[in-house]
Chains A and B, each alone.
Chain A
């Protein structure tokens, strides 16, 4: 391989992310033997899948450009977890209803976000930030009236126990979402339209792309993905607790960035984001493995994130 080829290769975000994942696993194994055992890796992948599913929607919204971002995903995850928990309340019979209701709720929230950002032209950051406040309030209201709910055993099994070829169902679900996202982005008209509006909205509009409809659809999908993650989350943890989804808001954006998708929109894809989600999860797992204070853990985590960001999407220098 010649020098230019190699340089191109290490500039590929996916390659960087995969290399870092391997390096982190080696580091983890060195720090604490057993870290990179098959069982541990499976557990890490389950946690990564939860983040990765939220990041799928985030990725779509960001790809659509115009400062696209969805800060409400954390709120949707929490809401979905509590709705799912209550509709199931420990019985498998409630699973289909829970899935339908949660995805409908997430999609509805996404629809409102989409309408606000396109028809009313509220900047996405502001619209979804306001929506997050509303959802946090809504969660308190819901929590007053009803118990926190319990996951159905079938769902817990799907998320945590081997389902097919030794892999838990949620990992198969994540793989399926990955394949569907790749097909959606690269093999459909809708996918082409996402990249078109993300890289040059005006040109896309001139070419006849229904810009607003596409962007609304992206927010709807983001809400739906966050809702799916919420259902899986209660399957993972058994029951939901206050603001359980908050931990996904900014990490979902970081996973997208680490996957090589530009926050400016129009460039990137979901395969990288999946690697980014695994990388973030492994990094956090290493920090919980090593025996240091919470304070040291956070400082190392923050500093590492900054260093890793240097590999990705740095802005262009000013030129006269």
Chain B
């Protein structure tokens, strides 16, 4: 193309910052929600309150990160919830089978991560290599994964070993265990955000044709995105298992659509090319804080879901409108 675009107009400082950190509007919403939570229930912003929030929503945060990696490349994965269920029942069954000692628990965790990776690769092959539509194809794989989960554990209820959930919900050196998880994850996500793969996924999402023409292996990159998604969905499953302390073949089903909402709340565009995992994490926290705020302001229980739904819809719309104004 001989398209000689004029040099980009210099943008204002604020816009440049927003372009670099698309999650800033979400961060603002998060701070406001935290403040509101603090006003209506001062204890919710204490160490105990924050620990509880993280413990409950760590799984959704990880699942949002998982979804973010495919959304980077303009794909979507509607099977993440089914992967969570599958890994949850696989890990619990293995731990029960091998006994609840430290070594078997670690072995089960490692195998669980491999199951997630395998599911992600299957999704990647189906969507990127066979070129099926992501929405319908990952819905089909989600049915398959749910079937597998039901095969492994037909009914919910098998308990996880005490060692596993005690560690997850307990403290180490007087600091809640989940804080270590958060720190390790923060470092991991920061490192991953500086890898070539993140840039490549965003490039594919921005313009797959251009990425292909500049020599990127587009199909392989998209498969890698789905593989990352599978692994993070497996990590989310481990957190769920730590939180609920049992296996349930349908535990993740409801989480899929929330993971998509969290990614969008965090400032990522479903059309690909724009996004951050930090935003996805913030998006998941926003959903969590909306849920707890609705509870703290004393909404009657039957109205809570409606108010939550409305608040999430409004937050989604506000985030998109602000983000677009910033990028325009």
Contacts and interface: CB of A to CB of B under 8 A. Distances in A.
Interface of A: 67, 69, 71, 116, 120-123, 125-127, 129-138, 140-141, 143-144, 250, 253-254, 257, 263, 293-303, 305-306, 309-310, 313-318, 320
Contact of B151 (A116, A293, A320): A293
B309 A137 contact: yes
B306 A296 contact: no
B131 A133 contact: no
B313 interface: yes
A315 B154 contact: no
Given A122-B320, A295-B151, A301 B143 contact: yes
Interface in B165-201: none
Interface string B310-328: 1011001100110010000
Contacts of A320: 212-213
A299 B148 contact: yes
A274 to B, nearest CB: 18
Contacts of A144: 302
A305 B140 contact: yes
A254 B139 contact: yes
Given A122-B320, A254-B139, A306-B140, A314 B147 contact: no
A299 B151 contact: yes
Nearest to B78: A250
A261 to B, nearest CB: 11
A294 to B, nearest CB: 6
Contacts of A138: 306, 309
Contacts of A121: 320, 324
B132 A126 contact: no
Contacts of B135: 69, 253, 263
B306 to A, nearest CB: 3
Q: Which 5 A-B pairs have the closest CB atoms?
A: A298-B147, A302-B144, A137-B306, A130-B313, A302-B143
A263 B309 contact: no
A112 to B, nearest CB: 10
A175 to B, nearest CB: 26
B309 A136 contact: yes
Contacts of B307: 137
A144 B213 CA distance: 57
Nearest to A315: B131
A296 B151 contact: yes
Interface stretch (B14-22, B31-39, B99-107, B256-264): B256-264
A293 to B, nearest CB: 7
A8 B213 CA distance: 32
Given A69-B135, A122-B317, A299-B148, A134 B140 contact: no
A126 B320 contact: yes
A134 B308 CA distance: 8
B71 to A, nearest CB: 11
B313 A133 contact: yes
Contacts of B29: none
Interface in B130-158: 130-133, 135-137, 139-151, 154
Contact of B309 (A133, A253, A254, A257): A133
B249 to A, nearest CB: 8
Contacts of B133: 257, 263, 309, 313, 315
Q: Which of A125, A130, A253, A263 has the most CB of B within 10 A?
A: A130
Nearest to A135: B309
B143 A298 contact: yes
A134 B213 contact: no
Contacts of B208: 318
Interface string B189-231: 0000000000000000000110011000011000000000000
A314 B270 contact: no
Which of B126, B142, B145, B317: most chain A CB closer than 10 A? B317
B313 A131 contact: yes
A5 to B, nearest CB: 26
A138 B302 CA distance: 9
Contacts of B144: 298-299, 301-303, 306
Contacts of B126: 306
A309 B140 contact: yes
B107 to A, nearest CB: 24
A246 to B, nearest CB: 10
Contacts of B270: 67, 123, 125-126
B136 A257 contact: yes
A293 B149 CA distance: 12
Contacts of B261: 126, 129-130, 133
Nearest to B265: A126
B306 A141 contact: yes
A314 B130 CA distance: 7
B78 A133 contact: no
B197 to A, nearest CB: 19
A296 B218 contact: no
Given A134-B313, A320-B213, 20 more contacts: A121-B324, A129-B260, A130-B316, A130-B317, A133-B308, A137-B304, A140-B302, A294-B154, A295-B150, A296-B151, A299-B148, A302-B142, A302-B145, A305-B140, A306-B137, A309-B132, A310-B130, A315-B131, A317-B131, A318-B209
B244 interface: no
9 contacts: A125-B260, A126-B261, A126-B316, A129-B316, A133-B309, A133-B312, A303-B144, A306-B140, A314-B130
B309 A318 contact: no
B141 A306 contact: yes
